[in-house]
Amino acid sequence: MKFSTKAEYGIRALIALAKQGDKEPYSLPQIAREQKIPRAYLEHLFARLKRAGLITSTKGARGGYSLKVKPQDLTLYQVVAVLEDNFSPYFCTGSEDAACPEQKGCLTRNVWVKVQDSVNQTLQQMTLADLVSKNAKVTN
């Protein structure tokens, strides 16, 4: 399974917002520069994150972006679900529309379902706050 740069860049940008905390909003150009993310790409990601209610924007000279959700309440699963169009390890573990006609006799599908479940569980257990802290560990 490979996540796209949408997830990687989006999570990095959200970490920057989380580190900013309750200070003034963080400008998009500043985040793009510090995180080495193309500004136009970051604008696209932030539009998705804003529509999903994860971030908020402030207009004006001191405008920028802030987290709308507390870092400890924002799971990586929520972020990836907003940014990735599909994060299934194999096509048959995605939506019902992608069901394989050979599903009943498939010898490998159970493996892909277990992989998907493990990835989902890990992403649901980790929060943005976990990544901001120095000891980003997954608990079992």
Per residue in 7-17, pLDDT tens? 999 999 999 99
Q: For the chain, give every domain's residue range.
A: 5-132
Is the overall model pTM greater than 0.75, yes or no?
Answer: yes
**How much is the pLDDT for 53?**
96
Is residue 6 within 8 Å of 45, Cβ to Cβ?
yes
* CA–CA separation, 55 and 74 (whole Å): 11
The tally of CA atoms less than 13 A away on the side-chain side of residue 130 is 15
* CA–CA separation, 95 and 106 (whole Å): 17
For the cut 90, the answer to whether the pLDDT of residue 102 exceeds it is: no
Phi, psi of 55 (to 5 degrees): -135, 165
For the cut 60, the answer to whether the pLDDT of residue 138 exceeds it is: no
User: pLDDT confidence of 76, banded at 50, 70, 90?
Assistant: very high
| CATH code matching the domain that covers 5-132, chosen among 1.10.10.10, 3.90.180.10, 3.40.30.120, 3.40.630.30 | 1.10.10.10
User: pLDDT confidence of 133, banded at 50, 70, 90?
Assistant: confident
